[in-house]
């Protein structure tokens, strides 16, 4: 055996476990989803599976719940990105100034991050209970009338936006903080000599130098926000009136609860392509910005 | 004077913000430490953020919860899943990263390209066909089904590979001259020299697997195999539902994470780009 062949063999023996696992639980399911998308596969009658061409795709775009779920996720993303990222940046700027007790504030703002999505969903379900929850009791203390929150089609998604931002902001605050501390103090000193004021300092020095950090944070938030499922699943089951139904949740429901594998797979393909495109566009954007 | 006032206002805002971030967590813990009736009696007052005034009540909820549900079993399940996935993903992904970092082999570029493409595949959208694969393999309702899909991870392979590239080839060559094979080089040289990567991957996969909900919910039917996250929603829907007991199970499932975050502070940030944003 020549050395080249031997090295290839050795390399593949090290790669084998990862390749087998990724192949079985990622590549094969992804390919299966693409194949099933063109069939009428119903979980209970796998033998009667038939090729139906584009039938599923045609039906999906006539499915009001799927259309609604796309609108819902766009709404969620449009609100959660500015709120969560904005809050994270604001908190980082507040914390960045040296002062007594900063470590306490840092830990406090970060604390929701340690809770799992299931825990925050169940916890806020109780806090937001319209008739006997803590939030409405607190609002009553300051004279605001009780809000329906999750039981109102108008408020439910925005409530989930708030809960998600509350949970995630602390983590991104730390990333912003790292970005802020990477800005050399000499830059600010130079600004001082030029006589810039506080606002100019922020808009012309801090913000531009934070751009790579901000873009990175926005992309990762965007991509994970698109895949929202746990919060609506635990808090609202997609209701009221499908106002919190999301694409991934609908894929889960039609594939797992309704057992329509074919139909669900077609949605996987469509939504997978959407997320894939967004990821690619965004990663190209960061590459240009980094250099 | 003006400066002092400004400072006071600043602190007022910082504290107000801290309250917004902390009070849900606080309410969760203190509500698990009082009788059910007190929770609703206290609601909205200062006492709603304090445990029961009667200290003997503090752990009664936990006693009741443990008598209704097999909590130690859920805790053990969660630990088994999280530890297996953590160890598994360190070993499996590090091995693959080692191959990419230190070997020249046929198909390397293609394979690495495929892995990078796989990074884009949104795993959450293929849960249904992942489920049919588990069904075909006949592993539904087993612990194996919970663990196996969580181990292979492209991001971790990438991270390990980048780290291993920094291990000097000279060291590897000299050890090989002493008669060590690749397997020994991997375990005795490369892995020990990459402790930060091991720690990062270990912590990220521990947190991700401890928090995993959807997949175990789908593949498990026996309650005695449930991890804590699934047990939470099970307890929250098993009549009669007591608020204080639900808050107790939320608290129990959070404690290990608090410990992990405290111990692993410096590695948490490196997870960006992998699994670690607020919305998971």
Give pLDDT tens digits for A56-82.
Answer: 999 999 999 999 999 999 999 999 999
Look at A186 and A176; give whichever has higher pLDDT. Answer: A176
Contact B22 A108 (CB under 8 A): yes
- The candidate with the shortest Cα–Cα distance to A271, out of A60, A120, A125, A9, is A60
Quickly name the fold that domain B70-271 has.
Answer: MetI-like fold (1.10.3720)
Distance between CA atoms of B64 and B71, rounded to whole angstroms? 11
Give pLDDT tens digits for A127-143.
Answer: 999 888 889 888 888 88
Distance between CA atoms of A111 and A177, rounded to whole angstroms? 16
What pLDDT is stored for residue A290 in this prediction? 46
Most B CBs within 10 Å, among A1, A6, A14, A141, to test the B interface: A14
CA angle, residues B7, B13, B18, in degrees to nearest 5: 125
pLDDT band at A178 (very low <50, low <70, confident <90, very high): confident
Residues comprising chain B, all counted: 280
Mean pLDDT of B218-229: 95
Mean pLDDT of B174-193: 90
What percentage of chain A reaches a pLDDT higher than 70?
Answer: 97
What pLDDT is stored for residue B1 in this prediction? 61
The answer on pLDDT for B163 being more than 80 is yes
Q: Please check whether residue B245 touches A, CB under 8 A.
A: no
Chain B residues 53-82 within an 8 A CB cutoff of chain A: none
Q: How many angstroms away from the CA of B128 is the closest CA of chain A?
A: 6
Q: Please check whether residue B28 touches A, CB under 8 A.
A: yes
Mean pLDDT of B191-205: 91
Distance between CA atoms of A149 and A51, rounded to whole angstroms? 44
Contact B277 A220 (CB under 8 A): yes
What pLDDT is stored for residue B276 in this prediction? 36
Mean pLDDT of B87-105: 94
What pLDDT is stored for residue B246 in this prediction? 95
The answer on pLDDT for B76 being more than 90 is yes
Domain ranges of chain A: 44-290
Distance between CA atoms of B168 and B149, rounded to whole angstroms? 33
Mean pLDDT of B227-251: 94
Helix (H, G, I), strand (E, B) or coil at B194: helix
The answer on pLDDT for B108 being more than 70 is yes
What pLDDT is stored for residue A197 in this prediction? 81
Contact B17 A132 (CB under 8 A): no
Look at A194 and B62; give whichever has higher pLDDT. Answer: B62
pLDDT band at B275 (very low <50, low <70, confident <90, very high): very low
Q: Please check whether residue B96 touches A, CB under 8 A.
A: yes
What pLDDT is stored for residue A288 in this prediction? 54
Distance between CA atoms of A43 and A31, rounded to whole angstroms? 17
- The candidate with the shortest Cα–Cα distance to A6, out of B103, B108, B91, is B103
What percentage of chain B reaches a pLDDT higher than 70?
Answer: 95
Q: Does domain A44-290 have CATH number 1.10.3720.10?
A: yes
What pLDDT is stored for residue B278 in this prediction? 33
Mean pLDDT of B214-241: 94
What pLDDT is stored for residue B277 in this prediction? 34
Q: How many angstroms away from the CA of A185 is the closest CA of chain B?
A: 23
What pLDDT is stored for residue A3 in this prediction? 62
Distance between CA atoms of B82 and B76, rounded to whole angstroms? 10
Cβ contacts of A248 on chain B, cutoff 8 Å? 124-125
CB nearest to B124's CB, from A227, A265, A279? A227
Mean pLDDT of A228-251: 94
CB B215 within 8 A of CB B230: no
What pLDDT is stored for residue A167 in this prediction? 94
Look at A149 and B277; give whichever has higher pLDDT. Answer: A149
Q: How many angstroms away from the CA of A94 is the closest CA of chain B?
A: 8
Domain ranges of chain B: 2-66, 70-271
Mean pLDDT of B201-227: 94
Mean pLDDT of B82-110: 94
B222, exposed or middle or buried, with CB in 10 Å at 0-12, 13-18, 19+?
Answer: exposed
Mean pLDDT of A250-260: 92
CB A246 within 8 A of CB A74: no
């Amino acid at each position: 055996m020549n050395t080249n062949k031997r090295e290839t063999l050795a390399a593949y023996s090290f790669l084998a476990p990862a390749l087998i696992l990724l192949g079985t639980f990622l590549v094969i399911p992804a390919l299966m989803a693409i194949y099933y998308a063109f069939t009428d596969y119903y979980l209970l009658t796998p033998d009667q599976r038939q090729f139906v061409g584009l039938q599923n795709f045609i039906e999906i775009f006539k499915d009001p719940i799927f259309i609604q779920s796309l609108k819902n996720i766009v709404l969620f993303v449009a609100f959660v990105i500015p709120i969560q990222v904005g809050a994270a940046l604001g908190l980082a700027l507040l914390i960045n100034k040296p002062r007594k007790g900063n470590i306490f504030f840092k830990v406090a703002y970060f604390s929701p991050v340690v809770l799992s999505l299931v825990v925050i969903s169940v916890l806020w379900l109780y806090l937001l209970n319209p008739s006997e929850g803590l939030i409405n009791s607190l609002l009553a203390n300051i004279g605001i009338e009780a809000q329906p929150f999750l039981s109102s089609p108008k408020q439910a998604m925005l409530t989930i936006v708030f809960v998600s931002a509350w949970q995630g902001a602390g983590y991104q605050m730390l990333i912003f903080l790292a970005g802020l501390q990477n800005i050399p103090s000499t830059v600010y000193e130079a600004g001082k000599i030029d006589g810039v004021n506080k606002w100019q300092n922020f808009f012309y020095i801090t913000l531009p130098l934070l751009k790579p950090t901000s873009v990175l944070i926005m992309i990762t938030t965007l991509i994970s926000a698109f895949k929202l499922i746990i919060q609506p699943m635990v808090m609202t089951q997609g209701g009221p009136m499908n106002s919190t139904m999301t694409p991934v949740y609908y894929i889960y429901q039609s594939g797992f609860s309704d057992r329509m594998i074919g139909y669900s797979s077609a949605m996987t393909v469509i939504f997978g392509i959407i997320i894939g495109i967004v990821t690619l566009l965004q990663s190209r954007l960061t590459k240009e910005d980094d250099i | 004077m003006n400066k002092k006032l400004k400072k006071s206002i600043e602190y007022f805002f910082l504290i107000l913000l801290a309250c917004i971030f902390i009070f849900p967590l606080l309410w969760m813990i203190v509500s698990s430490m009082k009788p059910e009736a007190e929770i609703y009696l206290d609601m909205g007052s200062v006492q709603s953020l304090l445990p029961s005034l009667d200290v003997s009540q503090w752990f009664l909820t936990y006693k009741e919860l443990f008598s209704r549900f097999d909590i130690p079993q859920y805790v053990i399940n969660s630990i088994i899943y999280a530890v297996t996935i953590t160890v598994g993903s360190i070993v499996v992904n590090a091995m693959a990263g080692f191959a990419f970092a230190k070997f020249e082999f046929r198909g390397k570029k293609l394979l690495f390209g495929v892995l990078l493409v796989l990074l884009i595949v949104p795993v959450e959208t293929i849960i249904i066909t992942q489920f049919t694969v588990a069904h075909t393999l006949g592993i539904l309702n087993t612990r194996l089904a919970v663990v196996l899909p969580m181990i292979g991870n492209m991001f971790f392979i990438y991270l390990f590979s980048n780290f291993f590239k920094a291990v000097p080839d000279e060291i590897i060559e000299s050890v090989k001259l002493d008669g060590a094979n690749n397997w020994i080089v991997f375990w005795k040289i490369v892995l020990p020299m990459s402790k930060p990567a091991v720690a990062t991957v270990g912590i990220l996969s521990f947190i991700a697997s401890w928090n995993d909900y959807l997949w175990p919910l789908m593949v498990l039917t026996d309650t005695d195999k449930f991890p804590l996250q699934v047990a939470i929603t099970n307890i929250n829907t098993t009549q009669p539902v007591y608020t204080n007991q639900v808050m107790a199970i939320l608290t129990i499932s959070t404690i290990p994470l608090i410990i992990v975050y405290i111990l692993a502070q410096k590695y948490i940030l490196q997870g960006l780009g992998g699994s670690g944003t607020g919305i998971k």
